[in-house]
């Protein structure tokens, strides 16, 4: 499975110890959340399948429109079961925080899951039949939430590793074609509107997983996929140092994505087509 030349194990939820949290809820949970999400939802692009007739959860009273207040927040309980209240993320570091991320970034990710450029089956199932407009509505809701961050995790890593991570994030490693992460993710690493996410507040394991997925091709973004190119040049050791430094920083829920990149970006990114790029 791991054919990656740099030996960064691509993160697959099944192989992750914390994945145990998901099967406990099982497919029934997903049926319920998918149904909950569709109560009163905007008309889907394609007709929804008809799980109500055959599904064992059809008789659950909470799924009948009459007994559920039809608010977006109520429907998005389907998401917050995994992503935490208001999308703040749980403390286990497995489900990413979605609160407060730039709106087009969140929208792009929902499209990516729906269209197979990112993979997490329990989530992709839920998005399969949702219209673009509804994905946009969900992205807008979570983007406008700013709940507090959990305290950063504590790791047993050396000071030298943390310093190396910080230096890569802030200055890059030009000899190995690695630009500073802050050149695109913002000086404060709080992201840049409309489509570059902040890095502070991401758990270490999640960062390792995402960079591994870009290396292995399991995660893709609009071409040119600048993150795939950057991940390609990072060694396993560098990924570990970057993730440990970011994962140990305190994130501030008052931070907001910047409106523009401070200087032209070091590479072109398909998901930020309007940004200036250095030549
Ligand atoms: C069964 C648990 C589960 C449910 C339910 C769920 N998600 Fe997720 N979500 C995940 C996991 C796990 C990931 C990270 C997957 C990966 O490794 O790429 C994720 C990733 C995401 C991302 C990308 C975050 C980022 O920073 O790139 C977005 C956006 C998102 N989910 C939105 C939603 C929305 C909206 C819903 C409700 C319709 C939802 N999720 C329901 C587990 C879930
Ligand atoms: C040339 C601009 C650019 C540079 C430099 C850059 N990034 Fe990114 N990064 C992006 C864009 C654009 C995205 C959003 C991609 C998408 O839509 O999936 C992104 C997304 C990410 C994500 C996903 C976050 C999430 O919530 O899932 C991580 C992790 C990440 N970058 C880490 C890094 C690290 C670490 C560095 C430095 C080594 C770096 N990036 C440098 C443009 C950049």
Q: How far is 171 from 169, CA to CA, in rounded Å?
A: 6
Give the tens place of pLDDT for each residue, 239-261. Answer: 999 999 999 999 999 999 999 99
In this model, does residue 45 exceed pLDDT 80?
no
Q: How far is 135 from 99, CA to CA, in rounded Å?
A: 15
- Mean pLDDT (whole number) for 35-62: 40
Ligand 2 and 97: CB distance under 6 A? no
Domain extents in the chain = 13-143
Ligand 2 and 208: CB distance under 6 A? no
Report the percentage of the chain scoring pLDDT > 90: 65
Answer left, alpha or beta for residue 8, where phi above 0 means left and psi between -120 and 50 means alpha: beta
Ligand 1 and 191: CB distance under 6 A? no
Q: How far is 169 from 242, CA to CA, in rounded Å?
A: 7
In this model, does residue 156 exceed pLDDT 80?
yes
Residue to mutate (ligand 2; options 196, 210, 222, 267; most atoms within 8 A of CB): 196
Q: How far is 38 from 52, CA to CA, in rounded Å?
A: 11
Q: What is the pLDDT of residue 94?
A: 78
Distance 230 CA to ligand 2 centre (A): 8
Higher pLDDT, 278 or 94: 278
Residue to mutate (ligand 1; options 72, 85, 120; most atoms within 8 A of CB): 120
- Mean pLDDT (whole number) for 64-74: 73
Q: How far is 32 from 262, CA to CA, in rounded Å?
A: 45
Q: Is 173 helix (H, G, I), strand (E, B) or coil?
A: strand
Give the tens place of pLDDT for each residue, 178-214. Answer: 999 999 999 999 999 999 999 999 999 999 999 999 9
**Highest-confidence segment of 36-50, 149-163, 183-197:** 183-197
Per the prediction, the chain carries an average pLDDT of: 81
- pTM of structure: 0.83
Gap between the terminal Cα atoms of the chain: 38
Return the ligand number nearest the Cα of 97: 1
Question: 139 with 106: CB under 8 angstroms?
Answer: yes
Give the tens place of pLDDT for each residue, 89-147. Answer: 876 677 899 999 999 999 999 999 999 999 999 999 999 999 999 999 999 999 999 99
Nearest CA to ligand 2 atom 25: 197
Q: What is the pLDDT of residue 65?
A: 52
| The architecture CATH gives domain 13-143 | Orthogonal Bundle (1.10)
Ligand 1 atom closest to the Cα of residue 97 is 26
Q: Is 178 helix (H, G, I), strand (E, B) or coil?
A: strand
């Amino acid at each position: 499975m791991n054919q990656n030349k740099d030996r960064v194990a691509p993160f697959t939820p099944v192989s992750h110890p914390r994945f145990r949290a998901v099967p406990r809820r099982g497919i029934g949970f997903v049926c319920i959340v998918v149904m909950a999400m569709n109560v009163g939802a905007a008309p889907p692009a394609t007709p929804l399948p008809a799980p109500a007739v055959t599904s064992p959860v059809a008789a659950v009273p909470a799924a009948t429109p009459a007994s559920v207040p039809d608010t977006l927040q109520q429907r998005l309980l389907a998401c917050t079961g995994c992503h935490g209240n208001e999308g703040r993320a749980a403390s286990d570091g497995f489900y990413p925080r979605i609160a407060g991320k730039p709106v087009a970034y969140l929208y792009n990710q929902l499209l990516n899951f729906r269209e197979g450029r990112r993979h997490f089956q329990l989530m992709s199932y839920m998005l399969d039949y949702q219209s673009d407009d509804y994905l946009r509505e969900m992205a807008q809701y979570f983007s406008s939430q700013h709940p507090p961050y959990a305290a950063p995790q504590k790791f047993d890593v050396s000071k030298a590793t943390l310093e190396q991570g910080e230096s890569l994030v802030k200055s890059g490693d030009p000899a190995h074609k690695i630009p500073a992460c802050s050149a695109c993710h913002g000086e404060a690493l709080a992201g840049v509107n409309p489509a570059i996410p902040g890095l502070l507040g991401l758990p270490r394991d999640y960062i390792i997983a995402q960079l591994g997925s870009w290396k292995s091709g399991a995660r893709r973004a609009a071409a040119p996929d600048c993150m795939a190119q950057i991940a390609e040049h990072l060694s396993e050791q560098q990924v570990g140092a970057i993730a440990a430094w970011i994962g140990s920083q305190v994130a501030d829920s008052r931070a907001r994505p910047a409106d523009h990149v401070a200087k032209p970006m070091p590479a072109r990114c398909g998901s930020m087509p309007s940004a200036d790029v250095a030549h």
